[in-house]
Amino acid sequence: MTRVPLPESFLRLPLCHRGYHDLSRGIVENSLSAFSAAIDAGYGIELDIQLSVDGQAIVFHDDTLDRVAEAFGPVIDRTADELGAIRLKHSRDFIPTFAETLALVAGRAPLLVELKDQSGTMSSTDGRLEAATVAALKEYQGPVALMSFNPHTVARLAEIAHHLCRGIVSCCWGEEDAALVGNAVCDRLRDIPDYDRTQSSFISHEAADLPRPRVAELKANGAAILCWTIRSPEAEAIARQVADNVTFEGYAARLPA
């Protein structure tokens, strides 16, 4: 297992949270239109990956379709073809596969890819989502970094794709999280104990929790620090006192000169 450095572009270009989406223009999160808009604006892209029932990597954030798609029910209950036929609300876009997204981006922007924990338990995985994600990337040429809240997912990625950059998504693991996964899991994950075990090279940390001493410790030991989710220039300025780069939405983040 090797630690793969985060490519320089992830530290230079602000990362659009689920693409450069803007409902006023009919561009919704995690859509091909949002990814095209990010490329046109010169930003990097953050996106989410889930698994379809037939084992394909799908770009979608929520466990269920209800909030952003013109359908209802769990994502995992549908095939890739079924999901691809579902329109995203308030847009002309349909739910894309990861492969379709890679074909569109084609190396023109750095891709920060979060693999979702569909079990909701932060426990060991069956490896199917990790395998589908890596398979889609087999021929891809362009900067990519993979990450997950679930350290078991990151460890699995280290086993099957040690050549790809990987990191851990982290947060304060507060009361809302404890209600979902339990206090014991939150207490364990709060100080990011799996960073070295997974040979990660970065974290993407909750912006409000950036002052946590463990973040400073990791940064001092060479970890790249990304953060989520920034929603104003003022919040960006505060976050950059600690973070090397930001994941943002709802405004135009500052591009390098």
- Residue for token pair 């492969």: 99
Is residue 68 situated within a structural domain? yes
Is residue 101 situated within a structural domain? yes
Counting the structural domains of the chain, the total is 1
**pLDDT score, position 10:** 98
**pLDDT score, position 2:** 84
- Residue for token pair 């924990």: 117
Is residue 257 situated within a structural domain? no
This prediction's pTM: 0.98
The pLDDT tens digits for 140-185 are 999 999 999 999 999 999 999 999 999 999 999 999 999 999 999 9
CATH at 161: 3.20.20.190
Containing 113, the helix (H) or strand (E) segment is strand 111-115
Q: How many other CB atoms are found less than 10 A from the CB of residue 195?
A: 23
Q: Which domain holds residue 159?
A: 9-248
**pLDDT score, position 257:** 85
60-70 average pLDDT score: 97
Integer angstrom CA distances of residue 69 from 60, 63, 84, 179: 10, 12, 11, 26
The structure tokens listed for 142 are: 């362009």
Is residue 255 situated within a structural domain? no
Reported confidence tier of residue 57, pLDDT bands at 50, 70, 90: very high
Is residue 1 situated within a structural domain? no
84-96 average pLDDT score: 98
Nearest-angstrom CA–CA distance, 242 and 218: 11
**Strand, coil or helix: 169:** strand
The structure tokens listed for 46 are: 């953050």
Contact, 142 vs 77, CB < 8 A? Answer: no
The structure tokens listed for 6 are: 């985060």
Candidates 103, 94, 166; CA nearest to 137 is 103
